[in-house]
Amino acid sequence: MEEGGDTTDPQCSITISVKFSGRSIPITLPPDSTVKHLKSLLQPLTNVLPRGQKLISKGKLLVDDMTLRSSEDGPIKKEAPRVSNLRRMAEDRREKKEKPDIAVEKSQLERWKATGVVALSACDLKVIPQEVWTCGPSARVLDLSHNSIQHVPAAVGSLSSLQKLFLNANDVPDESICWEAVSSLKSLTVLSLSQNYLTNLPSTIGALTCLTQLHLTNNKLTCLPTEIGLLSNLQILKANNNRISTIPTCIGCCTSLVEVDLSSNLLLELPDEFSSLRNLKALHLDNNGLKTLPATLLKMCIQLSTLDLHGTEITMDLLRQFEGWESFDKRRRLKHQKQLAFRVEGSAAFDEGADKN
């Protein structure tokens, strides 16, 4: 992670531009702020705990008690974008939005209707072609992943037999999805919304009672709706790399869950109702602020064999004190033995995540 920045008003505040995972994150704060304070502001934006952050400015490692003012080699000054540049950016966005739909050949449309699979992944789409909606009840799968789609209209409700909807890796924000139409897709079993700009899920998500997989990775979610407890058939929930700080207690009603990934969020604790997930086999909690787990988790989740706790404050010594540790340890070792069956060498040492000290 590198540090750079541009000065707005040196007497009042400075703007630091932190480079992280190929993007720049602007942070505005007083010049007397410490590096430790800057790290605390970066945590919800990067999903990296302060103790795991490494800030470097011009090759110099910044320590926690250093102030931004005291760093002579500190923030790099940059000029604000010129008006002409802003105008050009606005024109580029307008041109992108107005780009016409791709042409859909008649043979392609016939193939969609015959197979029930509308495959439009990575087609450089800005909008969903109108021809998609003509498929109506014949469409079972709609794959729009890896495009630049910003709007999901009410017309999606016309695909009444849709079972799988892939909208991952697009540019979709909250207000651009017609959730009422999506929630009317009663046959939907797989919904993928990963890698978008979602900050919340509406209560209508609870109407999708046939869902078995819900993918929400790499968004900006801060919580999950209580209506998620209505998804009694849900088997896979992936909501890693968000900003989720709490999990609703109704998660315990999702008794079909087999795999849950909540890694790289802002969780400090899990509700005790997690122990009700008797079918749970894999639980990923790495890179959170967790210090402990529900007391009966290892005892009640009798199929749990994968527990990833890397980057949390939970140690192996702590886990050994939980009731049900011995049975969990046997399941975990058996799983590793099966994985190592075709390898020449390997170790069954606990490596799913708890720190060894």
Domain boundaries, the chain: 2-61
Question: What is the average per-residue pLDDT within 64-91?
Answer: 52
* Closest CA relative to residue 272, chosen from 243, 301, 306, 245: 301
**107-111, 162-166, 201-205, 337-341: range with lowest mean pLDDT:** 337-341
What is the reported pTM? 0.70
Higher-pLDDT residue of 41 and 262 is 262
Among 70-74, 170-174, 271-275, name the one with the lowest average pLDDT: 70-74
For position 192, what pLDDT does the model report?
98
Indicate whether 83 pLDDT > 50: no
Which of the following CATH numbers is that of domain 2-61: 3.30.2450, 3.30.870, 3.40.50, 3.10.20?
A: 3.10.20
Q: What gap in Å lies between CA 220 and CA 198, rounded to an integer?
A: 6
**Strand boundaries in 64-167, DSSP class E:** 117-119, 141-143, 164-166
3-10 long-range contacts (CB < 8 A, ≥24 apart) are 3/55, 3/56, 3/57, 3/62, 3/74, 3/75, 4/57, 4/75, 4/76, 4/78, 5/74, 5/75, 5/76, 5/77, 5/78, 6/75, 6/76, 6/77, 6/78, 6/79, 6/80, 7/75, 7/77
Mean pLDDT within 212-231: 97
Give the tens place of pLDDT for each residue, 156-208: 999 999 999 999 999 999 999 999 999 999 999 999 999 999 999 999 999 99
Q: In what order do the strands lie in the sheet with 236-238?
A: 117-119, 141-143, 164-166, 190-192, 213-215, 236-238, 259-261, 282-284, 306-308
Side chain identity, residue 191: L
Averaged pLDDT, 317-341: 91
Amino acid identity, position 291: K
Q: Which DSSP letter does residue 133 get?
A: G
Flag whether pLDDT at 2 surpasses 70. no
Model confidence at 128, pLDDT cuts 50, 70, 90, reads very high
Q: How far is CA 168 from CA 48, 117, 196, 335, in A?
A: 23, 17, 7, 31
pLDDT band at 292 (very low <50, low <70, confident <90, very high): very high
